[in-house]
Chains A and B, each alone.
Chain A
Amino acid sequence: MKNLTLLICIICLMAPVAFAQDMEHEPWTCPEGYEGQTLSIFNWSTYIAEDTVPNFEAACGVSVNYDIYESNEQMLARIRQGNPGYDIIVPSGGTVQRMAEEMLLIPLDLAMIPNVANVIPDLLGAAYDPENMYSLPYQWGTVGVGYSTEVFPDGISSWDQVWEHDGPVAWLDDRQTMLGIAHLFLGNDPNTTDADEINAARDYLIEKGGNVVTVAADDGQVLLERGDVDIAVEYNGDILQISWDCECDDYAYAIPEEGSNVWIDNLSIPVDAPNPELAMVFIDYILDAKVGADLTNYIWYASPNQASIESGYIDEEILNDPAIFPPAEQVANLFAIIDVGAEAEELINNAWDELLIFLGA
């Protein structure tokens, strides 16, 4: 009798698991032949779930070295000096392009990565890597406006509200993003390399920036929190963070309807990687519906994985947050930053310096 109770309990406990597996998803299985091998991952800090790596090690019978960095430049500098032995890196869009041009990336063999089919089609073929020859999306986010809900009870839906606001505003010190937004208004390509268009965008921003009190490096959310600005142009994660911290509705994040910048961090394989085959197996693993969902549920960034989203593995709370997952009609208006080359880079830098000077003049 006692044994029977125990058995029922075990069945009850296992049922949801079995059900979930039956539903549609086979757990990811590792291709054979990698037992005993080693994979070295170089990723941003606090950017992976606790069990992502251990589960991979168990599935493939491999061991993983895991190392972290804080910025694209830091990672780029390490690889430029000669890859110290990493198989996987996570560069942002523009950095993928720069590294590809400098021959620092190994082309992906998409045949080894069947889960590429899980990726949201709109996030494939980005301008920085049109054929996805070197990169596949890891997580993504946006630049938008964080605002005080007290000042804007009806929310913000247009950049015009930012330009015309009678009160202090902070912009993000991200030259390509800010000029790109101006390009959208002027009907130009956000990544244009044309000198006249870049200068026109500069003039547009100078004209609209009368209410800008500071062009913040990456602390606009703090200014918003302190009440020093009513609007801060920022990365979505930063604004979400102050909302979670205060557990209040005082701040909100919106992507204005005209469009904005979308950034994608990508999985890539650096040149001279000791084990590129296993790296591609790892990319396939990350792009699995369940693995990708577990990752997103842990780090609260937007998943590029359609299958993760559709399978219901991602928490409702995250999926329904338009600040993390913007609705499809907004995604269509987002632009990615590409590496524009040295010449346009200088034009953009000059325009940005001039903008900073004239905003305060």
Chain B
Amino acid sequence: MSDRLRRLQQNGSLLALPTVAWLVIFFVLPLLIVLVVSFMTRGRGGVGQLPFTPEHYERTFGVFFIILQRSIGLAALTTVVCLLVGYPLAFFIATRRRLVQQIALFLVILPFWTNFLIRTYAWRILLGEEGTINGILTGLGLVGEPLSLLNTQFAVLLGLVYGFLSFMVLPIFASVERFNFRYVDAAHDLGANDVRTFLRVVLPLTLPGVLAGCALVFIPSVGAFVTPDLLGGTKGLMIGNLINKQFGGSGNMPLGSALSIVMMALVMISLLVYVFANRRDARA
């Protein structure tokens, strides 16, 4: 029996080998290359060359800083809006009958059937100066002049919330579904009102889903480039757009690498926050 177990364990590590090799070759090594290139000097055609220099990091935290700030700000705002919209929705779905639940979850996932790029282009048509929304508003006489909706930070926020809302709803749904509603009765019996029950009982017990949802929304939002590219114009430029530009025809790969490393660091920090919050939550 113990022989079999040992053999199974050995085979188990062998089974992990392809994945480990894959991660080392296609993730760890490229990441190290990006890190090295980010300290190189820009050469002809935008490639990195020696000598090493910290100038790209200086630029990242210099002129690019307001774009970093904007990216974090927009991603944080997206996360908050997704949470405010997604939590009640997830709660609603989780407390329905099985059939309604299934239909509702199906509807949440339905937009993924259409390519993200196409859906974002659709927002351009909706938000345009002569677009659907302005057409309705001016048609009803609610506004005199068409509103400038496209090419604003508002449009980027809308696009990001629209794009990532499901990532918030699904983990919260999973948490709420597992929540035992007899705790609510217990809280009420012990004299807590609805608000207190929610804040002290429901929210803490569904917090893992909330944290997972926030991480899943914040991380892709902070590096988004399709949404700000199509909806943001000059006002909604984000860090992803600037990274994208550095790798084109005559860009600056070392600068692009430095920007990517900084963005990865941001994502890493938010993941660490997630892990620590989760751990504290587990202990509590």
Contacts and interface: CB of A to CB of B under 8 A. Distances in A.
Contacts of A227: 128-130
B245 A353 contact: yes
Interface string A207-250: 00100111100000000001110000000000000000000000
Contact of B148 (A168, A226, A346): A168
B157 to A, nearest CB: 14
Contact of B151 (A213, A350, A356): A213
Interface in B133-155: 148, 150-151
A257 B148 CA distance: 31
A360 B236 contact: yes
A315 to B, nearest CB: 34
B250 interface: yes
Contacts of A359: 234
Nearest to B130: A227
A197 to B, nearest CB: 19
Contacts of B151: 168, 213-214, 228
A220 B151 CA distance: 13
A21 interface: no
Contact of B129 (A168, A345, A353, A357): A168
A354 B63 contact: yes
Nearest to A360: B234
What's the dominant secondary structure at chain B's contact region?
A: loop
A349 B234 contact: no
Interface in A304-354: 341-342, 345-346, 349-350, 353-354
A139 B130 CA distance: 36
Nearest to B148: A168
Most chain B beta carbons < 10 A, residue from A168, A228, A359:
A228
B42 to A, nearest CB: 5
B251 A360 contact: no
A149 to B, nearest CB: 16
A35 interface: no
Contacts of B235: 213, 360
B91 interface: no
Nearest to B249: A73
Contacts of A212: 234
A357 B237 contact: yes
B128 A349 contact: no
Contacts of A228: 128-130, 150-151
B42 A356 contact: no
A8 interface: no
Interface string B41-69: 01111100000000000010001101100
Contacts of A6: none
B87 to A, nearest CB: 32
B129 A226 contact: yes
Contact of B233 (A214, A226, A346, A349): A214
A361 B66 contact: yes
Nearest to B146: A227
Contacts of A71: 249
B234 A356 contact: yes
A286 to B, nearest CB: 27
A353 B242 contact: yes
A71 B248 CA distance: 12
Interface of A: 71-73, 168, 209, 212-215, 226-228, 341-342, 345-346, 349-350, 353-354, 356-357, 359-361
Given A349-B250, A357-B242, 15 more contacts: A168-B129, A209-B234, A213-B148, A214-B234, A227-B130, A228-B128, A228-B129, A228-B151, A342-B43, A350-B59, A353-B64, A353-B245, A357-B63, A360-B232, A360-B236
18 contacts: A168-B148, A213-B148, A214-B151, A214-B233, A226-B125, A226-B128, A227-B129, A228-B128, A228-B129, A341-B44, A342-B45, A346-B42, A356-B234, A357-B63, A357-B64, A357-B242, A360-B236, A361-B66
Closest 10 pairs between A and B when the two form their complex, measured CB to CB:
A214-B233, A227-B130, A360-B234, A213-B151, A342-B44, A359-B234, A213-B233, A360-B235, A227-B129, A228-B129
